[in-house]
A and B are shown apart, each in its own frame.
Chain A
Amino acid sequence: MSTLQKVLRLRTLAATSIGLGLASSVYAAVVQVGHTAGDRYIWAAILLAAFVCIMAARNFSELARRFPNAGGVQVYVRNAFGERASNTVSLMYIILAVAAGAAEAYVFASVLRIIFKTFNLTLLASFPLEAWIFLVLLTFLGINLVGVSVAGKVQELLTFTLLVLLVSLSVYALFQPSSHAVSQSARVDGLMFTQAVAYAIYLFIGFEWITPLAEEAEDVNSLGKAMTLAIVTLGIAYSLFGTAVVKHVDTASLLNSTTPHMEFARLLAGKAGIMIMGVISVIATFTAFNAGIMGTSRLMYAMAREGVLPGFLAKVHLRFFTPWSSLMFIFLLQLLLTLFVIGTGSFKTPIFLAASVECIIYTLVSLAVLKLRGWKNVLAPGFTALVFGALTVLMLLPPTPPAVVILLAGGLILALAYSVFIVPRLAR
């Protein structure tokens, strides 16, 4: 009797879990966390966010052991709350991926322009930001249409390289003298600090995307360990980076920058800093963006094949065998969202949107654990559900732009209405 090959080791799982959290758009969120928590407490807000994400990871780990198959979160929610809730969660993941992808395209396009300006590539630097965003999205559409993917070993190497570069730069910055005095406000505003923790959830985005790999893991228990390892690693890396940033510059001065990491690198090491951070950004965007688009297009394809999404999204390219119609659809959604972001001038809208969707998903997964446990041993998952429920509410309070509330409410209502009214008709 054949069984699945158990090939994925803890290291590969952890590298994959870290992957999405190492995106270029994360640095704007780090600055937002520092500004909201108070620069002095940036590390505490990031580490507290890491702690609550570990609580969420425990729930994912329990469910992955219970349902070790490729369906992941959709299967957990289906078993706890039924088909409609499962479809709604899948649609929320699509909203999350589109929002995170739009943020990444916007930030990466801005990074490219800074690199071109710094190295006097005037012709390239003269193209408007919109053109670069379009090109970035188009490039990743092309890469995914052709079906270029990062192999497990390469993913491990890229993740390790990124972490070493990021931590080295942060440690170097921490040991450099600074004329800037970190704001030493005596009191911490509890509400603002908790809101900063909510914003910091974006730094760990997608750590749970390894749960569909449960069948292929050497040991299903290693999934939980890999998620915890990934969250701890990201938590340490970003709290070091955040602390290094606030040592040299006031986060208020970087708050409106799409690329605070590039500005910080320039301040620290001039052109060399831009070069190093540019390399970090290129690798980060390539790994995070590619994995995000590939995963989402396959999710959309599978949903279309299941009859949950319209059939035209299940078209497969007959040469490359990639889900071309789903990829085109994601490209259009991301383009529309980035145009909306440019129109409103609030580039953090997709970041806040993605983080709030993630908080809602973590709340739902905690509730799924409670339901599947038969409402017994409720303390840990119940507390996690309450924490993420509260973080979702805090995420939507000012200074979060009102556009986030509108997009989130609209997205959720549409996803729910689609699951309740449209999916049964498609199934017929």
Chain B
Amino acid sequence: MATAEDLFMALEQFVQRFNANKLVKKMVRDWDRHIFISVTDLELASTVVVADDAIKELVPGESGKKDISIIAPADVIIGIFTGKLNPAKEYAKGNVKFVGSPKDEMKVDAIIQYLWS
């Protein structure tokens, strides 16, 4: 079972990969969002703050704003953000819940797709 440390390492890696990818940075142009990640089994949360075409910070817990929420157990969150699990498959199985507009949902999935393909 994944630990809190595994989770934050995976998210940190994701942030580095995200900010190093030119195409992904182009994809988030004028798309400032607070992506709230809730880890159900560890009872932890984190917020990815996207602003000025990059991930600006990774805030533990809530940042006061939730444009998008991603809710799943730690193993699934780590799998998705490290490219080891397919978010679409996990979503269809009901292992991950997504709250946000369909357009934002498509954008997050596309970012993960382009980042790991």
Contacts and interface: CB of A to CB of B under 8 A. Distances in A.
Interface stretch (A44-52, A119-127, A317-325): A317-325
Interface string A63-94: 00001011100110000000000000000000
Contact of B86 (A215, A216, A307): A307
Q: How large is the interface on B (under 10, 10 to 19, 20 to 34, 35 or more residues)?
A: 20 to 34
Contact of A298 (B38, B89, B102): B102
A147 B107 CA distance: 12
Contact of B113 (A5, A215, A305, A322): A305
A69 B40 CA distance: 16
A2 B36 contact: yes
Interface string B38-55: 101001010000000000
Contact of B38 (A2, A302, A323): A2
A157 to B, nearest CB: 19
Contacts of B99: 4-5, 216
A316 interface: yes
B22 to A, nearest CB: 12
Interface stretch (B3-11, B13-21, B90-98): B90-98
A379 interface: no
A75 B92 contact: yes
B27 interface: yes
Interface string A320-350: 0111000000000000000000000000000
A75 B103 CA distance: 23
B45 A2 contact: yes
Given A2-B36, A2-B69, A316 B94 contact: no
A1 B86 contact: no
Nearest to B45: A2
A2 B88 contact: no
A91 B110 CA distance: 23
Contacts of B87: 305
A74 B106 contact: no
A67 B95 CA distance: 11
A149 interface: yes
A84 to B, nearest CB: 15
B88 A306 contact: yes
Interface in A274-310: 298, 301-302, 305-307
B94 A322 contact: no
A179 B45 CA distance: 72
A307 B89 CA distance: 9
Interface string A116-153: 00000000000000000000000000000001010000
B75 interface: no
A13 interface: no
Given A3-B71, A4-B99, A149-B102, A321 B107 contact: yes
Q: Which of A3, A321, A323 has the most CB of B within 10 A?
A: A321
Contacts of A229: none
Contacts of B97: 4, 69-70, 215
Contacts of A4: 69, 71, 97, 99
A75 B88 contact: no
B85 to A, nearest CB: 12
B109 interface: yes
Contacts of B45: 2
Interface string B50-67: 000000000000000010
B71 A2 contact: yes
B113 A314 contact: yes
Nearest to B38: A2
Contact of A321 (B40, B94, B103): B103
A216 B101 CA distance: 12
A318 B106 contact: no
Contacts of B71: 2-4
Given A2-B45, A67-B94, A316 B106 contact: yes
Contacts of A306: 86, 88-89, 92
Nearest to A214: B94
A260 to B, nearest CB: 35
Q: Which of B89, B92, B107, B113 has the most CB of A within 10 A?
A: B92
14 contacts: A2-B38, A70-B94, A71-B91, A71-B94, A75-B93, A149-B102, A216-B99, A305-B87, A306-B88, A307-B86, A314-B113, A321-B106, A322-B103, A323-B106
Interface of B: 26-27, 36, 38, 40, 43, 45, 66, 69, 71, 86-89, 91-94, 97-99, 102-103, 106-107, 109-110, 113
Interface of A: 1-5, 67, 69-71, 74-75, 147, 149, 215-216, 298, 301-302, 305-307, 314, 316, 318, 321-323
